[in-house]
């Protein structure tokens, strides 16, 4: 085993399944979907995307760190939701970032898209009316400002970095936080990601590149809840969604010294670059990422009890991931859960949210289902299609693959 593995002390998320962790877990375990009609902006006639995974608005009143006058400057929802999940994860962890701890507390919380909505809105207003943007427009659109606001809110003054690896950002944030701890630069790391990409131009762009879900011409349009179907014969692209997830890491020495209990550790991690294509995955480097991650955890593939897949519900991506899983596990692939079947694709936040729900499943002895699954003869996987399954899980492999060939895989270990 990897003796330098950091431990997970707390986590929290918001997703299309809800804004409270227990409620999200309950809905996920019940096999529900968070996908619905797209209402985040008015839909023009003929707009190609009509559904999405949307996060319901939150009441800021119970959260003193979301001061209305202060947050009025931060118009992009990434800031409100980033602070919400970070502060709640910290509360769950039992850690208080005191003046003494602050220099040893790192921030790697990031975003793949950031506050582009603020920039787009300001640009449209400037073009249409000539009105200059408000002073906070540029800070809203700076991706590193998400981590900056987290540091300001928590008082963390250790190393800070906003790693961006597209759809793998959440997992990469965990790996970077782990590296800071392993290098002795921090004792605690606030990791995770936030993305709220439901902007007209962004969603339209995903459609024109044939990434976002579109129903097949001439066929009956399925309900929104059935559209995201990873590894299925009927998959037709990902459902764009939004959300945020924070995971608090710490060194074992720190946790022991402060009497903090943990039940899960980050046992292994790996990263590779495809160096191949802007969006299509490279099976060779994807496979190496999985193999190096498992090896780094000090275990064999046969020790993995379940896989939490990237599985965006695209034709090529799902097929490559399934092929690689069969190669890595020698044809004996453990059960595979595809969270995006319920959540949609929350871009950089997806792997953070999916990791949190996977860890809840490890803690509870429950493997979440892949809903909407219609078997594809070319993808013979056990996708837990029958519904949530009782399963003790010591080791879970989490995959995340991003545009530009950014691969990041994790192995979580449940400990007694």
Annotated active-site positions, please? 167, 310, 345
Strand order from edge to edge, sheet including 264-273: 105-107, 188-195, 243-250, 7-14, 264-273, 406-414, 395-402, 306-308, 336-337
Tokens representing 318 are 């799902």
Distance between CA 416 and CA 414 in Å, rounded? 7
Distance between CA 307 and CA 318 in Å, rounded? 14
**Contact (Cβ atoms closer than 8 angstroms) between residue 231 and residue 322:** yes
**Contact (Cβ atoms closer than 8 angstroms) between residue 65 and residue 83:** yes
Tokens representing 206 are 């995903």
Angstrom distances, CA of residue 145 to CA of 161, 171, 250, 326, 379: 10, 19, 23, 40, 41
- 63: exposed, middle or buried (C-beta count within 10 Å: 0-12, 13-18, 19+)? middle
């Amino acid at each position: 085993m990897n003796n330098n593995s950091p431990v997970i002390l707390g986590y929290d998320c918001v997703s299309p399944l809800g804004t409270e962790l227990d409620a999200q877990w309950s809905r996920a375990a019940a096999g529900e979907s968070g996908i619905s009609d797209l209402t985040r902006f008015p839909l023009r006639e003929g707009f190609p995307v009509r559904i999405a995974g949307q996060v319901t608005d939150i009441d800021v009143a119970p959260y003193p760190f979301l001061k209305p006058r202060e947050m009025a400057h931060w118009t992009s929802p990434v800031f409100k939701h980033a602070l919400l999940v970070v502060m709640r994860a910290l509360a769950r962890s039992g850690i208080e970032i005191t003046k003494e701890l602050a220099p040893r507390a790192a921030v790697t919380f990031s975003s793949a898209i950031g506050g582009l909505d603020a920039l787009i809105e300001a640009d449209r207003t400037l073009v249409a009316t000539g009105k200059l943007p408000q002073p906070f427009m540029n800070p809203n659109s700076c991706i590193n400002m998400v981590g900056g606001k987290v540091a300001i809110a928590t008082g963390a003054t250790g190393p800070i970095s906003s790693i961006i690896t597209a759809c793998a950002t959440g997992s990469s944030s965990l790996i970077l936080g782990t590296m800071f701890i392993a290098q002795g630069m921090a004792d605690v790391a606030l990791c995770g990601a936030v993305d709220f990409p439901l902007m007209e131009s962004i969603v339209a762009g995903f459609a024109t590149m044939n990434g976002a879900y579109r129903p097949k011409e001439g066929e009956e349009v399925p309900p929104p809840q059935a559209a995201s179907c990873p590894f299925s014969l009927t998959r037709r692209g990902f459902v764009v969604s939004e959300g945020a997830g924070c995971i608090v890491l710490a060194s074992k020495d720190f946790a022991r010294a402060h009497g903090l209990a943990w039940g899960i550790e980050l046992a292994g991690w790996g990263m590779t670059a495809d160096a191949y294509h802007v969006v299509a995955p490279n099976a060779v480097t994807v496979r190496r990422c999985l193999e190096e991650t498992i090896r780094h955890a000090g275990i064999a593939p046969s020790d993995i009890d379940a896989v939490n897949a990237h599985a965006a519900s695209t034709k090529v991506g799902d097929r490559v991931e399934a092929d690689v899983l069969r190669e890595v596990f020698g044809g004996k692939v453990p059960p595979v859960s595809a969270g995006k079947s319920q959540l949609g694709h929350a871009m950089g936040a997806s792997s953070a949210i999916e990791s949190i729900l996977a860890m809840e499943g490890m803690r509870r002895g429950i493997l979440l289902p892949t809903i909407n699954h219609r078997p594809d003869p070319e993808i013979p996987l056990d996708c837990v299609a029958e519904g949530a399954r009782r399963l003790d899980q010591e080791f879970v492999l989490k995959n995340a693959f991003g545009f530009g060939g950014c691969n990041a895989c994790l192995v979580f270990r449940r400990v007694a």
